[in-house]
A and B are shown apart, each in its own frame.
Chain A
């Protein structure tokens, strides 16, 4: 199993397109950091104009923690799309290249193959999250320094003291990893149905985009379905920047995401076990 996992990881990391994701994450993070060095104060003034009518804020508001939060806010919606590049290719890519039957001639079950692909996908997602932590958080801290972090919600203004922030980022990245696991399982599930990687990649992206829109639109009709959409719970990482941290809600979100992951995985294994593999 471990050897097969190594082989899967080798297959993932030898493809140049795997590194598009890492490059894109770094490029966006650096662009936002660069933009913040020149126009960050105007950006903040715009965001804080409501509260600035009543209070004055002094000190290092534009610091590494805030810039990292802005980057994560921008990127964590798009990271699932990048993960779909690998997950969607997992089974469909093999089918397209005609190697799926060959792989299954090895003494492993189809369920094991799905699980190995799933584990490889998770490792890729984790690598991307760690890379995101490096370029978004640590580089922002390097460029802008540390400081108290402001977090503006739609109806609440939160100030977090600088000594009380780093642990929140670690837990937020941990939660993001759980959320990305759901995307890996979704894309592998869709990959099991296709003979070409483009289909499951695009379908995963479409599902994530549509459901993210539904999760964020404030319409009564959508409010009914929101609690059941995994995209609603994928932003649970933000809960760690609330005060007090809504651990119960975050736990519930993690459970929903975990249920989706298990559900997609079981469905993939069930379907893949019965699938007539012709190539």
Chain B
């Protein structure tokens, strides 16, 4: 009788695990389908860059996106700044279109909301992303938080808020936390004006520096069929 109970319990646990794995795959597949329904968009944005060594005012402009990875910020003749390389301001790079392995990390609470945490590992060895961890609001089928580890550009953490465009999985606000390398130019070249304000020693000098980029999307024009020439 005891052996029968243990056997039943083992079968039940295995079944539960299998069913959960399937659910995670399904959840990810649904999420990917929802995100990939947007093939391009044009959005009016306000971008706030908060990086230790950068002093940049609030940048207002138009952000253009075309799947899978084309992105351009236009600022009516002004200079636009975007994070380089793998740090795209879209979920598309976090939700790879290729083959991936999904690991279900279970349920959790994030900002008072019940979420499901999934680990997404791209199977493609050439992928620059090592691992992406996403916090999914299952009820709304939206990614509210994501953490990506890349091979060469450190880690990237992204917070996403949704409102009017939640049906398209397009956020109203994204906050990106990124690792930064040091920025230094020789003083003999820049010939700085020393304003005699002593810089306090940075206790985190040896630790990787962090920066944030916050983008508020004011409105979207979705799937208008943006030409590639827009990104040249």
Identify which of A54, A147, A226, A238 contacts B79 (C-beta below 8 A).
A147
- Is A161's beta carbon under 8 Å from chain B? yes
Q: Is the CB of B53 within 8 A of A157?
A: yes
- Is B1's beta carbon under 8 Å from chain A? no
Chain B binder among A57-65, A84-92, A93-101, A136-144: A57-65
A160 vs B54: C-alpha distance when bound (angstroms): 11
List the A side residues contacting B185 at CB < 8 Å.
Answer: 47, 50, 152-155
Q: How far is the CB of B93 from chain A (nearest CB, A)?
A: 15
Q: List 9 A-B contacts (CB under 8 A).
A: A56-B82, A60-B77, A148-B78, A156-B55, A157-B55, A159-B57, A161-B78, A235-B193, A236-B193
Q: Is the CB of B79 within 8 A of A154?
A: no
Chain A: CB-nearest residue to B83: A55
Identify which of A58, A160, A161, A162 contacts B80 (C-beta below 8 A).
A58
Binding site for A on B (CB under 8 A): 53-57, 72-75, 77-84, 180-181, 183-197, 199
Using a CB-CB cutoff of 8 Å, which residues 237-253 of chain A contact chain B? Answer: 237-239, 242-243, 246, 248-250, 252
Q: Is the CB of B73 within 8 A of A159?
A: no
A50 vs B84: C-alpha distance when bound (angstroms): 12
A147 vs B81: C-alpha distance when bound (angstroms): 14
- Is A53's beta carbon under 8 Å from chain B? yes
Chain A: CB-nearest residue to B78: A148
- Is A52's beta carbon under 8 Å from chain B? yes
List the A side residues contacting B56 at CB < 8 Å.
Answer: 157-159
List the B side residues contacting A217 at CB < 8 Å.
Answer: 188
Identify which of B181, B183, B188 contacts A218 (C-beta below 8 A).
B188
List the A side residues contacting B184 at CB < 8 Å.
Answer: 50, 154-155
Q: How far is the CB of B57 from chain A (nearest CB, A)?
A: 6
Q: Is the CB of A158 within 8 A of B55?
A: yes
- Is A232's beta carbon under 8 Å from chain B? yes
Q: How far is the CB of A86 from chain B (nearest CB, A)?
A: 25
- Is A198's beta carbon under 8 Å from chain B? no
Chain A: CB-nearest residue to B179: A54
Query: How would you classify the secondary structure of chain A's contact residues: helix, strand, loop or mixed?
Result: mixed
- Is A23's beta carbon under 8 Å from chain B? no
List the A side residues contacting B53 at CB < 8 Å.
Answer: 155-157
A54-B83, A153-B190, A155-B53 known; 8 other A-B pairs, CB under 8 Å?
A: A51-B183, A58-B72, A58-B79, A59-B77, A150-B79, A153-B192, A154-B187, A238-B193
A150 vs B79: C-alpha distance when bound (angstroms): 9
Using a CB-CB cutoff of 8 Å, which residues 177-230 of chain A contact chain B? Answer: 216-218, 226-227
Q: Is the CB of A238 within 8 A of B192?
A: yes
Q: How far is the CB of B122 from chain A (nearest CB, A)?
A: 23
* A148-B79 CB under 8 A given contacts A54-B180, A227-B196: yes
Q: Is the CB of A55 within 8 A of B84?
A: yes
A243 vs B57: C-alpha distance when bound (angstroms): 9
List the A side residues contacting B57 at CB < 8 Å.
Answer: 159-161, 164, 243
A242 vs B197: C-alpha distance when bound (angstroms): 13
List the B side residues contacting A50 at CB < 8 Å.
Answer: 183-185
List the B side residues contacting A246 at CB < 8 Å.
Answer: 195, 197
List the A side residues contacting B193 at CB < 8 Å.
Answer: 235-239, 242, 249
Q: Is the CB of B81 within 8 A of A56?
A: yes
Q: Is the CB of A57 within 8 A of B81?
A: yes
A118 vs B79: C-alpha distance when bound (angstroms): 44
A237 vs B193: C-alpha distance when bound (angstroms): 8
A239 vs B195: C-alpha distance when bound (angstroms): 8
List the A side residues contacting B74 at CB < 8 Å.
Answer: 59
List the A side residues contacting B84 at CB < 8 Å.
Answer: 52-56
- Is A73's beta carbon under 8 Å from chain B? yes
Q: How far is the CB of B30 from chain A (nearest CB, A)?
A: 33
A51 vs B190: C-alpha distance when bound (angstroms): 15
A153 vs B54: C-alpha distance when bound (angstroms): 10
Identify which of B80, B181, B186, B197 contacts A57 (C-beta below 8 A).
B80
A139 vs B63: C-alpha distance when bound (angstroms): 33
Identify which of B55, B73, B196 contacts A58 (C-beta below 8 A).
B73
Chain B: CB-nearest residue to A223: B194
A252 vs B197: C-alpha distance when bound (angstroms): 12
* A216-B79 CB under 8 A given contacts A52-B84, A157-B183: no
List the A side residues contacting B194 at CB < 8 Å.
Answer: 226, 232
Q: Is the CB of B180 within 8 A of A58?
A: no
